[in-house]
């Protein structure tokens, strides 16, 4: 008998997915002098998310940590209510892209069929699967308790993140998202050309290994903070979200309504608090 209470989500490969980077010979011009050099590029491929045999979304994503991506997307987009509704994940790579086959519970599949439409995602697409205005601002879970977010922890997480961005060091083309514990220790870091994809990968990694999730933990993203990023952080039960770039006004309103601390322009020892200042410790 299969235990559906835990997010086991086994993975089987038909053909290996392509690597996340590609080496290219380029021509570099500096001070009027041209020379050939080797360069590394981050790749992006079409990734189809297929639920019980029905394709729901096609996203352009970096082909790494695709099991995390599929499970995290399913959770943050409310296609499944909890990891136990995912019974398995198979990855099938082909010449046109990668198909991620998810076996989900009957309840979730019935709900999915009711809202399904044909989608073609773009890099950075964040509202995939939403086909009406009423679904854009959905009810978000409130953080359990009133966890404080310490400024020192934010600074520690920001300082530790660059060393964990291996793809970005090679290519300079990927965003990172991370889950930090309340002390600023990074438990999970994932990278992707799409900022939403990177955060979905973090959520999926936490779901597959609940021991990584810490109460009062927060999300760090190397991007702006928009509505969909706040939604995904809230769905992950984060105490807050920290972004290195600006927030949008709608994201600030959503964070305040969901009880999240929202920090932006977070670089080095500086940041600006836009929401939840009452829960920001010195």
- Catalytic amino acids? 125
Judged against a pLDDT cut of 60, whether residue 137 lies above it is answered with no
User: The pTM is what?
Assistant: 0.86
CA distance 242 to 263: 5
Task: For residue 69, name the pLDDT band (cuts at 50, 70, 90).
Answer: very high
Most confident of 16-20, 74-78, 199-203, 234-238: 199-203
Judged against a pLDDT cut of 50, whether residue 12 lies above it is answered with no
Mean pLDDT of 70-90: 96
How far CA 62 is from CA of 32, 66, 201, 202, in Å, comes to: 34, 8, 11, 14
pLDDT score at 5: 39
Helix axes 227-235, 195-208, angle to 10 degrees: 0
Q: Where are the alpha helices (DSSP H) in 54-210?
A: 66-76, 106-115, 151-160, 166-171, 195-208
pLDDT score at 138: 60
More confident residue, 137 or 93: 93
Work out the burial of residue 168: count CB atoms within 10 Å of its CB; fewer than 13 is exposed, 13-18 middle, 19 or more buried.
middle
**DSSP tag of 5:** T
Mean pLDDT of the chain: 86
In this structure, the strands spanning 261-267 and 270-275 are antiparallel
Question: Tens digit of pLDDT for each residue in 17-60?
Answer: 889 999 999 878 888 898 999 999 999 999 999 999 998 889 99
CA distance 278 to 127: 30
**DSSP tag of 32:** T
Question: Tens digit of pLDDT for each residue in 100-123?
Answer: 999 999 999 999 988 765 444 444
pLDDT score at 239: 93
pLDDT score at 154: 96
175, 200 Cβ separation under 8 angstroms: no
Question: Tens digit of pLDDT for each residue in 235-247?
Answer: 999 999 999 999 9
In this structure, the strands spanning 149-150 and 45-51 are unpaired
- 54 — alpha (psi -120 to 50), left (phi > 0) or beta? beta
Tokens of 47: 């990734």
Mean pLDDT of 178-205: 97
pLDDT score at 202: 98
Judged against a pLDDT cut of 90, whether residue 134 lies above it is answered with no
Q: 174 φ, ψ to 5°?
A: -120, 150
**To which H or E segment does residue 60 belong?**
strand 54-61
List b or e across 84-97, with b for residues whose CB sees 16 or more CB atoms inside 10 angstroms. Answer: bbbbebbbbbeeeb
């Amino acid at each position: 008998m299969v235990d559906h209470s835990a997010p086991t989500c086994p993975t089987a490969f038909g053909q290996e997915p392509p690597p996340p980077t590609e080496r290219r010979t380029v021509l570099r011009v500096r001070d009027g002098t041209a020379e050939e050099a080797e360069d590394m590029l981050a790749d992006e491929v079409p990734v189809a998310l297929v639920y019980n045999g029905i394709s729901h979304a096609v996203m352009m994503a970096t082909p790494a940590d695709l099991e995390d991506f599929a499970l995290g997307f399913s959770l943050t987009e409310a296609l499944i209510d909890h990891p136990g509704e995912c019974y398995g994940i198979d990855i099938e790579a082909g010449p046109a892209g990668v198909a991620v086959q998810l076996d989900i519970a009957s309840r979730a599949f019935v709900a999915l069929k009711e809202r399904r439409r044909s989608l073609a995602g773009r890099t950075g697409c964040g509202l995939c699967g939403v086909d009406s205005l009423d679904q854009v601002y959905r009810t978000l879970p409130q953080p359990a308790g009133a966890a404080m977010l310490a400024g020192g922890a934010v600074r520690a997480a920001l300082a530790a993140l660059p060393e964990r961005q291996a793809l970005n060091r090679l290519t300079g083309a990927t965003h990172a998202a991370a889950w930090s514990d309340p002390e600023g220790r990074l438990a999970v870091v994932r990278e992707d050309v799409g900022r939403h994809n990177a955060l979905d990968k973090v959520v999926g990694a936490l779901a597959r290994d609940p021991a990584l999730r810490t109460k009062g933990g927060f999300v760090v993203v190397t991007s702006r903070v928009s509505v969909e990023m706040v939604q995904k952080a809230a769905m992950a039960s984060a105490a807050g979200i920290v972004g290195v770039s600006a927030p949008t006004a709608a994201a600030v309103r959503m964070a305040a309504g969901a009880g999240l601390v929202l920090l932006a322009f977070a670089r080095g020892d500086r940041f600006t608090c836009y929401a939840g200042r009452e829960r920001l410790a010195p």
